[in-house]
Structure 1
């Protein structure tokens, strides 16, 4: 996004989000700078589970949050389930609402939760997060607002993601930034493949495959490859249940 494409709302919101002490405060700032009703941020701990001990902050009213938790609506919320399986932003009107979520949708409307919204999936390292913006506007009004601000909201989503990770872990983020090839090499090593096999599977030289395994081991802080594989599985960077693409 080029600097001259930023709106005044974005410039103010991004500064406020960066300077906010917590994610909760950042969401309040976000909401104040855009014509939206509510903003919610979910950070799941890994990308292999849909919702794994999530970190959740929202500007929804306390009465609705209490109702949501009391009824365990996270298990039927179609936006959450869809959001943690998608890669790209999606308008809520795209989602087919299953019968199991009917009561949830009725309850949400009764608590003043608008029917229009957009959710923005964010993937970083082994984590997924979801930024959702909700509105009580008409379909026509919402379509125009979403079209105007979605690129900015996506940028703000990444700022919120980094702030949430820092709020949870500070400077000691337990998940290292492994490259795609390092993860792939660890995955195949966990399947019992040696560097020669891995090189053939991935179309690399054996020397390069060994290099990726070595750098992954160093980043994970492990003395041996087997320890690195075990640690990567523990962090859900790889999983022994991944299907063999061949």
Structure 2
């Protein structure tokens, strides 16, 4: 387990770096550093989904979650029964969670799928930090890895960091609305997203389409930018919702 926990100095440094965020990529870099300073592997800032929502990818603002984890998480429909998401909707303070404890709150089939998925990607324990978002909305900073439960001082630091990060993202991100016009993707961009949705890696897609792995990555990156997505799984989800791919 990591011993690189948050300190008063790292809190100050991270808040200063948040003030310098100018776009989604700056936010991603700060999120990565926050994860490292707090002793976690994975982090995400998202608009807290309403109960009717089914796909976590639709709500993500910035994330370093593995693409395959996010794709499988949504494919299994795990958000609808997530104990963390359910608790976060009513919580006003950050709380610790563990994969083992959460599995007991799911039915057997979901618990088995979730346990295998979380273990594969190192989601053992973590912390959820609710904070303010757009007017009338809430956001959630969700960190995961394998470390001991944060103490009250670290939790207070995380509350401050979540509030600063959310406020900065409100300033710099042009969050698309649901009825925005569909982005125009090239044929190659669509093909790469279609094969990505089928679970193919960039190398495999390149072999299928006769392209280099680097070129495939460029097509996926350009389509992600057009769609306002934070990673390829998010791009696939957005493309499907807008009818750009099936």
Q: TM-score, normalised to structure 2's length?
A: 0.55
Which segment is superposed worse, 7-16 or 159-168? 159-168
Q: Partner of 1:89 in structure 2?
A: 94
Q: Partner of 1:41 in structure 2?
A: 45
Aligned residue among 69, 86, 93 for 1:64: 69
Moved over 6 A (4+): none
Mapped partners of 2:52, 2:12: distance in 1: 31
SS at match of 2:158: helix
SS at match of 1:40: strand
Mapped partners of 1:148, 1:8: distance in 2: 13
Q: Partner of 1:242 in structure 2?
A: none
Correspondence 1:96-107 to 2 at 5 A: 97-99=105-107, 101-107=110-116
SS at match of 2:36: helix
SS at match of 1:87: coil
SS at match of 2:121: coil
Alpha-carbon shift at residue 6 of structure 1 (Å): 6.2
Are the equivalent residues in 1 in contact too, given 2:45–2:61 (CA < 8 A)?
yes
Aligned residue among 80, 86, 89 for 1:75: 80
Question: Per-residue CA shift, 1:120-170, capped at 9, x if unaligned?
Answer: 111353010111121213xxxx12x44442111110101121123224448
Q: TM-score, normalised to structure 1's length?
A: 0.55
Aligned residue among 88, 107, 127 for 1:118: 127
Aligned residue among 166, 170, 182 for 2:171: 166
RMSD: 2.8
Alpha-carbon shift at residue 44 of structure 1 (Å): 3.5
Question: Per-residue CA shift, 1:49-99, capped at 9, x if unaligned?
Answer: 347662442222222122223323222222122212322211115766232
SS at match of 2:17: helix
Correspondence 1:16-31 to 2 at 5 A: 16-20=17-21, 21-22=23-24, 23-31=27-35
SS at match of 1:166: helix
The unaligned stretches of length 5 or more in structure 1 are 171-246
SS at match of 1:111: helix
Mapped partners of 1:111, 1:56: distance in 2: 24
Question: Per-residue CA shift, 1:85-120, capped at 9, x if unaligned?
Answer: 322211115766232641343133332233211111
Q: Partner of 2:13 in structure 1?
A: 12
